[in-house]
């Protein structure tokens, strides 16, 4: 039993930490997705306050939590995997007597954990996107999902089992970028703060400061890939059955042609206030959960 717990503890810690953050950030994430969808609709607003106000007025306050069940499932699978794998990988690559990992090791661990975790969690991520954008479709085209199980079942029924992995490639790349900024950034920020006379590693203030830096880096690295991922996952064929994009690279090319680099940063303020607090809460919660396991002797 001890060996099973030792192997699963990093994943359980990541799942709990990510779920706590998602419960706090879900409304901001909902508005962020609407902004990205509206960016391709002529005349549609991308003002976060206007979008939130319209949602509450037309769909009710609970619309801000649409897809929460999928969001929590995503955290259990995806965040649990990428945080858990990162902890395992960093332990595995640590040389004997090596107290601080060099940047190339932390970066490599973060990229590998992010890519693997995102691939495992893609079905839940896809279900979340579909649930968040369903009410934006014409009434005749809405699926009216009742929960994450309904969304996953609808995807399999309409698109087959492999439909659950639509957008898996850009999702994995997005997660790699996020992990690079969030986890590798957090590890190096802790060292940086301590080395330059700040609070020592392991203290609450060091963890908080590092999480702030990691939150910004995660958002900055991640948004371009998140934008492409969202466009691929929510695209539908036109009247002639033709998809708007041939794939992630085509989507990136069209986005760049229309708006340059800034086109990938549509809704960056909202994305930052979604990703940065989520990253911070996740990392702070992870630190506290690890302390809890230690106090419980686990």
| Residue of 12, 71, 84 whose CA lies nearest to 292 | 12
Residues spanned by the domain of 258: 2-295
Query: Token pair for residue 30?
Result: 């909902």
The stretches of the chain forming alpha helices (DSSP H) are: 2-38, 48-59, 68-74, 80-92, 103-133, 148-159, 168-179, 185-195, 204-234, 248-259, 268-295
Report the pLDDT value the prediction gives residue 1, as an integer from 0 to 100. 54
How many domains, in total, are found in the chain?
Answer: 1
d(CA 23, CA 8): 23
CATH of the domain at 127: 1.50.40.10
Q: Quick: pLDDT tens for 201-236.
A: 878 899 899 998 998 899 888 888 888 877 887 777
pTM exceeds 0.85: no
Residues of the chain scoring pLDDT < 50: none
DSSP label of 89: H
């Amino acid at each position: 039993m001890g060996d099973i717990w030792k192997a699963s503890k990093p994943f359980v810690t990541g799942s709990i930490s990510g779920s706590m953050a998602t419960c706090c950030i879900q409304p901001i994430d909902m508005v962020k997705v609407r902004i990205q969808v509206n960016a391709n609709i002529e005349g549609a607003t991308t003002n976060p306050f206007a979008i939130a106000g319209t949602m509450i007025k037309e769909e009710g306050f609970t619309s801000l939590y649409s897809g929460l069940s999928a969001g929590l499932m995503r955290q259990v699978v995806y965040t649990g995997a990428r945080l858990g794998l990162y902890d395992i990988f960093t332990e595995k690559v640590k040389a004997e007597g090596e107290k601080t990992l060099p940047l190339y090791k932390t970066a490599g661990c973060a990229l590998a954990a992010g890519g693997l975790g995102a691939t495992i969690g893609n079905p839940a991520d896809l279900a979340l996107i579909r649930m968040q954008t369903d009410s934006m479709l014409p009434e005749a085209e809405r699926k009216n999902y009742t929960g994450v199980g309904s969304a996953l079942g609808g995807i399999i029924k309409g698109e087959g089992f492999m439909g659950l992995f639509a957008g898996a490639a850009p999702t994995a790349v997005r997660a790699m970028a996020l992990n690079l900024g969030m986890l590798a950034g957090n590890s190096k920020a802790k060292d940086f703060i301590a080395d330059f006379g700040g609070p020592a590693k392991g203290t609450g203030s060091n963890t908080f400061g590092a999480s702030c830096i990691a939150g910004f880096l995660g958002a900055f690295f991640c948004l371009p890939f998140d934008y492409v991922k969202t466009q691929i996952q929510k695209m539908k064929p036109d009247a002639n059955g033709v998809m708007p994009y041939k794939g992630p690279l085509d989507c990136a090319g069209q986005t760049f042609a229309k708006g340059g680099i800034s086109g990938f940063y549509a809704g960056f303020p909202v994305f930052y206030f979604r990703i940065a607090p989520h990253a911070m809460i996740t990392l702070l919660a992870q630190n506290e959960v690890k302390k809890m396991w230690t106090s419980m002797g686990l």
